[in-house]
Amino acid sequence: MERTFAKTISRAKSSAVREILKLTQNSKVLSFAGGLPAEDSFPAEAIREAYERVFARGAGALQYGLTEGVLALREWLTEFLRAKGVETSPDKLLVTTGSQQAIDLAFRVMIDPGDYVLVERPTYLAALQALSLADGRVAEVDSDAEGMLPDDLEAKLREFRPKIVYVTPTFSNPGGKLWSDERRRALAELARRYGALVIEDDPYGDIRFDPNLRVTTLYETDAALGGEGNALYLGSFSKTVAPALRTGFAAGPEDVIRMMEKAKQASDLHSSGVDQLALYELVTQWDLAGHIRSISAMYRERMERLTAHMTGAPWELLRWNRPQGGMFLWATLPESWVAVDLLKLAVEEGAAFVPGEPFYAGEPARNTLRINFTHTPPALVPEGLERLARAIQRYAQG
């Protein structure tokens, strides 16, 4: 039978990049493509003990719960966020199934078909997918290493009158970029002036390589302007604890949170109570801050090891940023190169990365690529990079 699916989902094509990356699932390929944290960073034993304590509470832990999330966890989150300068309260917090669900819910409650969202160039691919399912439209704002360019941001705010500006200002995926305070301020001010909600997606903010680096969240920057808040802050424990817990959250204006709660009710009633309680047990009885320091140090070392090998020929053909945190390095090939074609050669050589193309909502910069430095075991990195180097050499020789 010929089925007719909704236009929003039918439009979502399987991309050429995804097809190539499927080939890398073969275990012989050393992949820098995935966006995965290091498995040896997961506190598996502490998590096991946390679940045991939850089950020791008896059957009550297995009952339906509140859509907004376990109250004790929201109370703890309020304190956790205060330390980051995100002032909120349990009733302005929604626990979500990963921060991905928070992105999806925020778009669904704000966007009517055809409404615009402004994003960075490049931006997080799965946010573009969520927006497409909400039947929204997207416009890219020109960005450099410090964030969105304020002139272009204002021009696009004026032209598209977007409902939302979605950004990942702290160690972005894919750019590995850290916005400057000035650009944060410019965005907070302009978004208020033009009536667009700011969504600050911050799953990587805790993973900073210099523990003394102080980052002022966009949420805090917005709050400092006074009056009613205009920023929705999204966080996650996927990178700092383990992604399988699927626990994230949104903090922000109460009207937005209440609407997201309504949409969440229709979507999944609530996130897993057992997982929320286990996370609560974990973070209250174990040293989360110490764990975050140790994985940040581990990822810093992995990033440094990787970049230490990316010198000399043929690496001098590439330019890349030196991330100050997060999980990704963003590289630029010579102007006329096409990263998708380089990937084909890389896969032949037994290595992989993600070409930049799918991260662009508009005309892509085809000569860009993303390298993940957290997941490949350090002992395999030199071999993986040698394979990539061979692919680059082959491409250069045409």
Cα–Cα distance for residue pair 218/198, rounded to 1 Å: 8
Sole binder of ligand PMP in the list 67, 173, 296, 367 (CB under 6 A): 173
Q: Using the rule CB under 6 A, is 35 a contact of ligand PMP? A: yes
Whether 329 contacts 373, CB under 8 Å = yes
Q: Using the rule CB under 6 A, is 240 a contact of ligand PMP? A: no
Q: Using the rule CB under 6 A, is 37 a contact of ligand PMP? A: no
Cα–Cα distance for residue pair 346/385, rounded to 1 Å: 10
| E strand segments, 268-378 | 319-320, 328-332, 351-352, 354-355, 368-372
Show contacts with ligand PMP in window 254-273 (CB under 6 A).
none
In the complex, least distance from residue 311 CB atom to ligand PMP, rounded to whole angstroms: 28
Q: Which two tokens stand for residue 342?
A: 């380089």
Cβ proximity to ligand PMP, 39 vs 52, nearer residue: 39
Cβ proximity to ligand PMP, 124 vs 360, nearer residue: 124
> Which residue do the tokens 């999330």 mark?
69
Q: Among 95-103, 112-120, 262-270, 308-316, which window interacts with ligand PMP (CB under 6 A)?
A: 95-103
Sole binder of ligand PMP in the list 41, 78, 168, 240 (CB under 6 A): 168
Q: Using the rule CB under 6 A, is 248 a contact of ligand PMP? A: yes
- Nearest residue by C-beta to ligand PMP? 98
Binding mask 196-215 for ligand PMP (x = CB under 6 A): -----x-x------------
Q: Which two tokens stand for residue 327?
A: 């999980």
Cβ proximity to ligand PMP, 200 vs 349, nearer residue: 200
Q: What three-state secondary structure class fits 238?
A: coil
Count of residues of this chain found to bind ligand PMP when the rule CB under 6 A is applied: 13
Cβ proximity to ligand PMP, 107 vs 395, nearer residue: 107
Cα–Cα distance for residue pair 41/392, rounded to 1 Å: 31
Cα–Cα distance for residue pair 351/36, rounded to 1 Å: 16
Longest pairwise C-alpha distance within the chain: 66
Side chain identity, residue 152: D
Q: Among 96-104, 150-158, 260-268, 293-301, which window interacts with ligand PMP (CB under 6 A)?
A: 96-104
Q: Nearest to residue 353, comparing CAs of 233, 174, 178? A: 174
Preceding omega of 377 cis (within 30 degrees of 0): no
Q: Using the rule CB under 6 A, is 99 a contact of ligand PMP? A: yes
Cα–Cα distance for residue pair 319/333, rounded to 1 Å: 7
Q: Among 98-106, 111-119, 184-192, 363-371, which window interacts with ligand PMP (CB under 6 A)?
A: 98-106
Residues that bind ligand PMP (CB under 6 A): 35, 98-100, 124, 168, 173, 201, 203, 236, 238, 243, 248
